[in-house]
Every structure is written in structure tokens, then in C-alpha cells.
Amino acid sequence: MKITDSDKIKHRKLQNEGDLQKVSAEQKEYADVCASPKIIKTEITNTNEQTDGLLEEILTRDNLNLAYKQVKKNRGAGGIDGMQVDEFLPYLKENRNELIEAIRSGKYKPQPVRRVEIPKDNGKTRKLGIPTVVDRLIQQAISQVLTPIFEQQFSDNSYGFRPGRSAQGALKQCQKNITDGYKYVVDMDLERYFDTVNHSRLIQMLSETIKDGRASP
């Protein structure tokens, strides 16, 4: 009797289903709560009408002005070109049109980040990349347009690096879960997480939503 690839897949599927049936009720409940949420698709995030004109929206005067105010508010050190936040406004007044045209034509190239090491509480150091002030402006302008789109795809249980959310909010949700009868809270820190992100997969996921090819990664 010849065993086909289809038969092997069915066997693995049945085997996995059998393994799932062995999970106790408590473990199953815990697994459901802690399952990694998938990025979901919505009518808004998957229509070309919503994402075809992203580049124009990114480069609007209002969006760039808002990005500049945020960069100035955040302060921070300068990048490899040495330009500081306080020196940025005169540069923008003189080079704004050329900068926008370079972005629109696809000729703009971000500068390398300046690498620094900052101390951690445990005595070790954490590597930090500091983009130039110009690159920070463009990144902020892009973030302001993309954030409302991708916010609709994130899980309600996600609290990290999201507007209006914080570690305090995550703690409050944990307290609510305990009140609802859950028994465990797991605190994990993935070492060197951002250094190990699969960028190819990440770009692919972003491209599934960003329909404007000029703004795609």
C-alpha cells in the first residue's frame, strides 16, 4: 500500500487533534487566554481606497508639522550627521521642498543610525540606535498615518508600544482576569527580541495591508 503526502498530512492532523484532547480543562483554559493573537483583517484595512494615497497623506503639511512637533518634544541626541533637534527648524525651512520631492520620487535614503550603549540596572549595557533628526521626522510622519490603520488589527490584550496603553493598563487587565477566576499571570522578557525579528516576514505582513506601493517597505 502506497502512502501519499496527503495521507501523511491527514495523519499528522489526527495526531495533533489527539494531543489536544489530552490537555486538561485547566490547561485548555490557560492556553486559550495566552494564545498569541493573530493580526486580523478588517474591511477598513483591506480596501485599496483606504491605503492607495498613503504617501500623499504622509507628506501633507499638517502631518509633517505634527511630526516635527513630536520630534522636538521628544528631544534626544543627534544622529551620525551631528544635527541636533534645536538646529532642525532652520534646516527644514531651507530644504523642505527638496526633502519632500526626494521622498515622493523614491530617491530618499535614510542615514545609518548612530550606535550607543546605555547602562542597565543589572550592570550590563543595552545597545541603542539613534537615527538622524531628519530620519526621525520621516519615521514619525509615517507612524502617524500607519498607526490608526494597524491599531484596528491588534489584539485587545496587547499593551506594549501602543497609543493610550501602558504597563499600568496591562496590570489592571491582569487584576480583572484574576477577579474573573484566572489563576496565573506570566511575565516574560524576550532577550534581544528586536535583534531577532524576521524582517522578511514582517515586511510581508505590512505589505498585505499597505496597498500604496510607493509607501510599502
What pLDDT, on the 0 to 100 scale, is given for residue 14?
44
Average pLDDT, integer, range 54-64: 94
Nearest C-alpha neighbor of 61 from the set 50, 72, 69: 69
Q: What is the pLDDT of residue 187?
A: 82
Q: 41: which 3 cell numbers?
A: 483583517
Neighbours of 135 (CB within 10 A): 20
Nearest alpha carbon to residue 183 among 73, 67, 30, 48:
30
**Is a pLDDT exceeding 70 seen at residue 178?**
yes
Query: How far apart are the C-alpha atoms of 86 and 90, rounded to whole Å?
Result: 9
What one-character DSSP code corresponds to residue 78?
Answer: -
Q: SS3 for 114?
A: strand
Q: How confident is the model at residue 51 (pLDDT cuts 50, 70, 90)?
A: low
Stretch 190-194: mean pLDDT = 80
What pLDDT is attached to residue 49?
A: 40
Q: How remote is the C-alpha of 147 from its chain's centroid?
A: 9
For residue 195, pLDDT beyond 60: yes
User: For position 211, what pLDDT does the model report?
Assistant: 78
What pLDDT band is residue 217 in, cutting at 50, 70 and 90?
low
Residue 38, pLDDT score: 40
pLDDT score of 215: 73
Please state the length of the chain.
217
Q: What is the pLDDT of residue 8?
A: 45
pTM beyond cutoff 0.85:
no
Q: For CA atoms 13, 16, 22, 28, give the dihedral sign.
A: negative
| pLDDT over threshold 80, residue 63 | yes
Mean pLDDT over residues 9-19, rounded? 45
pLDDT beyond 60 at 154? yes
Please classify residue 193 by burial: count the beta carbons closer than 10 Å to its beta carbon, then call 0-12 exposed, 13-18 middle and 19+ buried: exposed
**Per-residue pLDDT for 120 more than 60?**
yes
Indicate if the pLDDT at residue 39 is higher than 50: no
At residue 148, the pLDDT reads 92
**CB atoms closer than 10 angstroms to residue 133:** 24
